[in-house]
Amino acid sequence: MILEILVPNPIYNTSSIRFSPIFLVGCSIATLGGFIRYKCYRELGRLFTYEVTIQQNHQLVTTGPYAYVRHPSYASVIASWAGMAVCLASPGSWLKECGVLKTLAGKTAAWLYVGYGVWGTVTAVARTSLEDRLMKEQFGGEWNKWAQNVPYRLIPRVVLSKLFANAPSRTGMHEEHWEGEITCDRTQGEEMLSQCYRQGIVGARECVLDIIDPVRT
């Protein structure tokens, strides 16, 4: 009965399920994400919460994973989700080889997983801006010094903004003119992304730069 559920279509050969290189890459990414998340738990200790808040006797944590990016916990969650998606969608995976994606239940589950991952990623990215603002207000110069030493929000030692340096805006302006044109308000936390969406692809580009580039505020 279990096999009938796991392999809904008998024409699919379960012997084709295997560990492909892509599957192993996805598994490695997911495992690394989980390990980093665990290290973040350990580093934050009592300061870890699921809410964006300042606790009593709050301290600015700048060690462990936080010595490389300012929001490693969110980065690890995104990495784990992406890694699992690669595992499930890779050649040789059960999901690909057993025909479950041909069923309505399989398609529904797959889209729910994708939707949840996208929602979680957007939420995490929005929270980075909100947390930065709160930490800056709370710790002032201490936060500024940390942000200078650790300028990356999610991706360490990678400045992808160079890839967008010559991308034209709606008015044909280049990077040096964008700061005045774009109005993605980073001081309003979770409203940032909705503002970017209203501005279309140009606003989205600025939000990407705000995430991966050194402190732009």
Chain-centroid distance, C-alpha 16: 32
- On whether both 185 and 148 belong to a single domain, the answer is no
Confidence at 212, pLDDT banded by 50, 70, 90: very low
Among residues 64, 59, 70, which one has the least CA distance to residue 150?
70
pLDDT tens digits, one per residue of 19-68: 888 989 999 999 999 999 899 888 877 666 656 566 566 777 888 888 88
The model's pTM: 0.59
Let me know if residue 197 belongs to a domain: yes
Q: Is the residue at 171 inside a domain?
A: no
In-domain check, residue 100: yes
Give the model confidence (pLDDT) of 143-162 as tens digits. 888 888 888 888 876 544 44
How remote is the C-alpha of 217 from its chain's centroid? Answer: 20
Instruction: Domain count for the chain, please give it.
Output: 2
> Where does residue 148 rank: exposed (0-12), middle (13-18), buried (19+ CB within 10 A)?
exposed
Q: How far apart are CA 214 and CA 208, in angstroms?
A: 11
The range of the structural domain enclosing residue 135 comes to 1-166
